[in-house]
A and B are shown apart, each in its own frame.
Chain A
Amino acid sequence: MDIFNLIFSFLYQFGDAFAFLVLSACGLAVIFGMMGVINLAHGEFIMCGAYVSTSAAHAGLPLPLAIIAGAVAAGIAGMIVELAVIRPLYQRPLDTIVATWGISMIVTQGTLIVLGPSMQGVGTPFGSFTLGGYSYSVYRVILMIAAVGTLVLLWLMFTRTRFGLLSRATIQVPHVAEAMGVNTNLIYSLTFGLGAGLAGLAGGLYAPTMTLVPTMGASFMVEAFVTVVVGGADIFLGTAPAAAILGIIKAALTGWQGQLAGQIGLLIAVIIVIRILPRGISGKILKERA
């Protein structure tokens, strides 16, 4: 009985950590995996999604629709950024990091100036359920389902749709894809929009559980980076297993020593993983397959 409770509690902690890692990282991973660009404004797209979905919810939109609105808004913002700043820099990947960092500074401070230091949130919906003396939030369970659902949808998108086919062709050999008549610029633009939209989705989903401040994006950054570094360039072979492994580490350390220990543990895990698997889990898997 007690054992069952403990196991369930750990599974809940693990699922929570896994959902957070997957949702915060998949937007970053899509952009990095497809384009080799590390988007340092990732946190700001998350913030954008959170702000838009919260405002939409305040305006009376039901929460699921509000979250989708946040994702779409972030996606459109992403495509604008891609067009204006990223496109001229494709030949200089290191400079895209610096440029997106500049965007991140502008957006964070701009939001602070325009919208003030914080925004009224919407409370966490659905209340909680109790099991064996512990109480668990229903919404957190929904987040876990959303994380898995997002992965499944992404997989379907990349393997079953025309966009998925063209985008995979574009990553493999851009020049050949272009010669075959693929509009690679459009693909890059859509991919960046997709990544930003996924970040917005994460922001919208987590908005009811967090305080909305202009710097909230930074609280996703460490987890997102760490997952992408451990995972490597592939979303399905990399990000998902990395999130699972890191989720176990984080849940165990958080349960034992608290939130910060979980984060420090993640960072140390990453530094060690880098030494052993420089190209992440997916690099290792793909190399063995080849």
Chain B
Amino acid sequence: MADHSRLRAALRLIEGPQTIGRGPKFWMGFAIVLAGACAYPMFADSYDVGNNVYFFNWLFMAMGLSLIWGYGGSLSFGQTAFFGVAGYCYGVLTINLGDAYGLTLLSTLIAVGFSALFAAVLGYFLFFGRINGVFLGIVSLSVTLVLERFMAQTAGPQWAIGSARLNGFNGMGGMPSLTIPWPGGSIVLFPDLPLYYLTLALLVVIYLALRMLVNSRFGNVLVAIRENPQRAEMLGYDIRKFQLGGFVIGSALAGLSGVLYTSWGNYITPASMGMTAAALPIVWVAVGGRGDLTTTLVGTLAVLIVFQRLTIHGSQYALVVMGILLVVTVLVAPRGIVMGVADASSRLIRRKDTR
């Protein structure tokens, strides 16, 4: 019975002070959106379905950054480092181990674990050195830039781990996709229906889990640290441990994005850790609204879709538009576009009411 009530207590955390959206109305909307997402492949061809999986892949990194930056208040510019580390790790493992017996799933776990470990080591030095926000951003950005340059020079046969060649600037390719072992032939998850549903399920599970996390004691302390680190410390919390915890979880999510991306396209390049790549998650999360998981999710998806449309129609102007979007958002709607629109419309409604 104790387990039962504990489960119920955990489930109650799914809505709380740290997340917007509560009550039957919100969950009704959530169910409708989810049903729409489930039904989507029926109305789209397999290219579009695969393309949507591509969008979904990035959302994990965005939610992780929202946790670190929006909830924890530590600005990390280097999430792509964990993305790249996990992607390369997955590539090296699966090329060496092959895709039989569910080894790709094991590789996924190891790769995500490895990026979390990397984050823990880096985070130990940063948070236990009591680095404030600005320096944290610089150091994490430097880490990802140096990693990019390191991977870019790994051309040639001497740079190989087992039978996996790292291939320098051109990046690594030819790793198997995620494969689920199944009696009577294993299921290879090409960017199509099965992978779509798997990624969607993963997305929903992690979204709900993160909602519970930020409404739990841990999440509340994280928000308290964002609001006022000294006060949180005076109240007796070891803020370093909480910041490190949030950083590791968020970075593991970036790693998960890296693995999914690598197995989705069967390749990973050093450019995925470069300056432009590192800027994009910041754009999504800042523009979408970093302070809340739901706005991050919605905003990131919207920005990703707009960015891809822009890239198709005027490829070279896409990054300029992204830059302008970022500057304007920071200046005009610091809480992100979703919240900015909501604020503006509620102000409008209130003005009508008073009249």
Contacts and interface: CB of A to CB of B under 8 A. Distances in A.
Interface of A: 32, 36, 38, 85, 88-89, 92-95, 97-99, 101-106, 108-110, 112-113, 215, 218, 221-222, 225-226, 228-229, 260, 263-264, 267, 270-272, 274-276, 278
A101 B133 contact: no
12 contacts: A38-B134, A38-B138, A98-B75, A98-B282, A99-B327, A99-B330, A102-B283, A103-B323, A104-B323, A274-B126, A278-B129, A278-B130
Interface of A (DSSP majority class) = helix
B75 A97 contact: yes
B287 to A, nearest CB: 10
A107 to B, nearest CB: 8
A238 to B, nearest CB: 13
Interface of B: 75, 77, 122, 125-126, 128-131, 133-135, 137-139, 141-143, 145-146, 149-150, 153, 274-276, 279, 282-283, 286, 316-317, 319-320, 322-327, 330-331, 334
A88 B331 CA distance: 7
B128 A94 contact: no
A274 B129 contact: yes
Contact of B320 (A93, A106, A226): A106
B126 A98 contact: no
A206 to B, nearest CB: 18
Contacts of B125: 271-272, 274-275
A270 to B, nearest CB: 7
Given A97-B75, A109-B320, A89 B330 contact: yes
B330 A225 contact: no
Contacts of A101: 77, 279, 282, 326
A113 B331 contact: no
Nearest to B322: A105
Contact of B324 (A38, A106, A225, A263): A106
Given A229-B139, A267-B142, A260 B320 contact: no
Contact of B331 (A85, A106, A270, A274): A85
A218 B139 contact: no
B327 A94 contact: no
Given A102-B323, A109-B316, 7 more contacts: A94-B133, A105-B279, A106-B327, A221-B275, A260-B153, A263-B146, A274-B131
Contacts of B331: 85, 88-89, 99
A278 B131 CA distance: 6
Contacts of A36: 134
Contacts of B142: 221-222, 225-226, 267, 270
- Tell which of B141, B325, B327 has the most Cβ of chain A within 10 Å: B327
Contacts of B131: 274, 278
B138 A98 contact: no
Contact of A221 (B145, B276, B283, B317): B145
Contact of A218 (B128, B130, B145): B145
Given A102-B326, A103-B327, A271-B139, A112 B279 contact: no
A85 B332 CA distance: 11
